Amino acid sequence: MAATETGKPVVGFVGVGLMGWGMAKNVVEKGWPLRVIAHRKREAVNDLVGRGAVEVSSLSDMAEQCDVVALCVTGAPQVQATVEGLVGEGREGGRLRAIIDTSTSEPEVTALLATEMAARGLTLIDAPLSRTPSHAWDGELTTYVAGDAAARDEWRGLLGAWASVVIDVDGPAGAAHAFKLINNSIAVGYAAVWSEAFAMVKRLGADPNTLREIVTNSGMNCGNFQNFAKYPCEGVPDAHKFALVNCLKDITYYSRMADAKGSVRLVSAGVAEALKAGVNLGMGEKMMPQMSDIFAALNGDEPWGEDKA
């Protein structure tokens, strides 16, 4: 393993958004030399440079300077474009040996990219994430990792910079992304259930806090519900910072995976239709707890939240 004067390999980070900012912050603060590239929000890059990171101007520069690059981008198209920029056709030499993809991507895309990289003597492992941006900031994410076992072991310490729980997934690259899609289908599915329930509360003209108290004192209580309920009950829209357009993206990826495997998806199909309706109503940039506004709008009711803020 190549090392710098710190004794640690040089890490590149692409995608310092809601999750990536906190992840990259932990990388540099825990002693890894860090390279970052411009993001649409300069605040994150400026903050990381202030903590000791170095900004590079291009993906090719990052590949030249880094031993490993972590990706935390929106989805499969962005992953493909970034990998091409790092190790594309005609790109020879450089320092880069591995890519860790923490994005929520499509398993088939991940497997294809891993095969293409292996032919060039490089390694890709998928290490998608669970939990929230605040957990990313505190270095307490959960990550599940698939791909080459030796590479997983080599980079386990780096994964631990942003994740307090690292779960090995038995399988080639892409297997962890498959589990990520299953996990997100559960999370977004729960949100859809809570949304329809709170929409019924609104139809009844009842107090949403009553439903929160009932569920809190039942076997259905969980962190997902408590974060979700902060919007209809308190007017807090971003207790879970995950945009509805990204919820739809993940359910779409899950649907493609299920269809490819011939697996029924009656529940997720309904969730997808609700999210499509919300995006068509212009709600795509709202956060996941605001999914309840989709159901309210379809019922002809006013959204939650504005009178609680």
| Domains defined along the chain, listed by start | 11-173 (3.40.50.720), 178-298 (1.10.1040.10)
Alpha helices, H only, the chain: 20-29, 42-50, 59-65, 76-87, 107-118, 133-137, 149-154, 156-162, 175-204, 208-216, 223-234, 244-261, 266-280, 291-298
Q: What is the pLDDT of residue 2?
A: 43
- Closest among 184, 183, 180, 137 to 161, alpha carbons compared: 137
Rounded to whole angstroms, how far apart are CA atoms 295 and 198? 9
Distance CA 196, CA 296 (A): 8
**Amino acid residing at 228:** F
pLDDT at residue 55, as a whole number: 97
pLDDT tens digits for 123-140?
A: 999 999 999 899 999 999
R_g of the chain computed on alpha carbons: 21
Look at residues 109, 239, 237 and name the one whose alpha carbon lies nearest to residue 180: 109
Q: Which residues are catalytic?
A: 180
The pLDDT score that the predictor gives to residue 232 is 95
DSSP lists the bridge partners of residue 143 as: 129, 166
Report yes or no: 208 and 233 within 8 Å, Cβ to Cβ: yes
Asked if residues 110 and 80 have their Cβ atoms less than 8 Å apart, the reply is no
pTM over cut 0.85: yes
The closest alpha carbon to 212, from 182, 246, 184, 239, belongs to 239
Neighbours of 31 (CB within 10 A): 12
Q: What is the pLDDT of residues 250-304, one digit of tens each?
A: 999 999 999 999 999 999 999 999 999 999 999 999 999 999 999 999 999 999 8
pLDDT beneath 50, residues of the chain:
1-3, 307, 309
Asked if 210 and 307 touch (Cβ cutoff 8 Å), the reply is no
Residue 156: closest CA among 183, 121, 122, 125: 125
Neighbours of 158 (CB within 10 A): 22
